[in-house]
Amino acid sequence: MSALGLLQAVGQPFAQPGHVTAQLTASDGMMWTGPVVWWWILAAFTVLGAVLTITRRNNIAAVMSLVATFFGIAAMYAMLQAQFLAALQVLVYAGAIMTLFVFVIMVLNRDEAEPWAWSGAGTKIIGVFALVYLITKVGYHLFAVAPLHPEAPPADFGTVAQMGEVLFTDYLFVFEAVSVLLIIAVVAAVVVARQRGAHADGEDAETDGQGTAPSSEGHHA
């Protein structure tokens, strides 16, 4: 509960009713209020983590940067009055998925591979330019988004109670389907990642044969 309380405290300044406009500019004297400063700090933190994630040669360093990004996104959720999702983000992403990545990296115990692939640089340059075009276009449209409800949402918005109500009424089937999906995924992960049955058995039989061969010979002798 203390974690949720903290998240709510972080989100609290944003629950205050205020005059919101989408056209705040840098010259606006009211711009650098506390929440805005925090937003920029957290956004820089998030983006820095993301950039480090895809540029590190060391896999572990990349995962830790990814965790920083996850925490930054959790803070963004708290700012957006999604306290439940913020807690879930920390638990699932910064907890479970991070552990999974670290575990796999440790299991592979792999030397750092080459960081960038410039083979086929032509197609990649085209791809990057297409991506830049896409983001420019999307960003242009995003700038036109007007705040639909600038006023603060209801007090219970994004709380566990409200999320539970939505999940267990409107989305009950989806919720159950997700649980089935998770079970299938876990079973599939075990099946895919374990040694293949025949191969492993063969290896075991081989080692067993080598191990027992002298003793059986001894028996015969």
Partner 1 sequence: MIPIHWFLELAAVLFVIGSLGVILRRNALIMLMGVELQLNAANLTLVSFARAHHDAHAQAFAFIVIAVAAAEAAVGLAIVVGIFRNRRSVNVDELTIMKH
- Interface residues for partner 1 in 50-69 (CB under 8 A)? 50-51, 53-54, 56, 59, 62-63, 66, 69
Output DSSP code: residue 114.
-
Start-to-end CA distance of the chain, whole Å, equals 72
For position 3 contacting partner 1 by CB under 8 A, the verdict is no
Site residues for partner 1, window 19-48 (CB under 8 A)?
Answer: 19-24, 35-36, 39, 43, 46-47
Site residues for partner 1, window 173-192 (CB under 8 A)?
Answer: 174-175, 178, 181-182, 184-186, 188-190, 192
Spatial neighbors of 210 by CB under 8 A, at least 6 apart, are: none
List the one residue out of 154, 55, 37, 164 whose CA is nearest residue 114.
55
List the one residue out of 70, 82, 95 whose CA is nearest residue 8.
82
Q: How far apart are CA 87 and CA 182, in angstroms?
A: 20
Size of the site for partner 1 (CB under 8 A): 93
- Binder of partner 1 out of 29, 149, 198, 214 (CB under 8 A): 149
Q: Which is nearer to partner 1, 182 or 213 (CB)?
A: 182
Residue in this structure with the two tokens 């002798």, named with its chain if needed: 221
Site residues for partner 1, window 86-145 (CB under 8 A)?
Answer: 88-89, 92-93, 96-97, 100-101, 104-105, 107-108, 110, 113-117, 119, 124, 127-128, 131-132, 135, 138-139, 142-143, 145
Q: How far is the CB of 8 from partner 1 (least distance, A)?
A: 15
Cα torsion 93, 97, 99, 102: sign: negative
Question: How many CA atoms lie within 13 Å of 156's alpha carbon, on the beta-carbon side?
Answer: 7
Q: How far is the CB of 216 from partner 1 (least distance, A)?
A: 31
Q: How far is the CB of 9 from partner 1 (least distance, A)?
A: 17
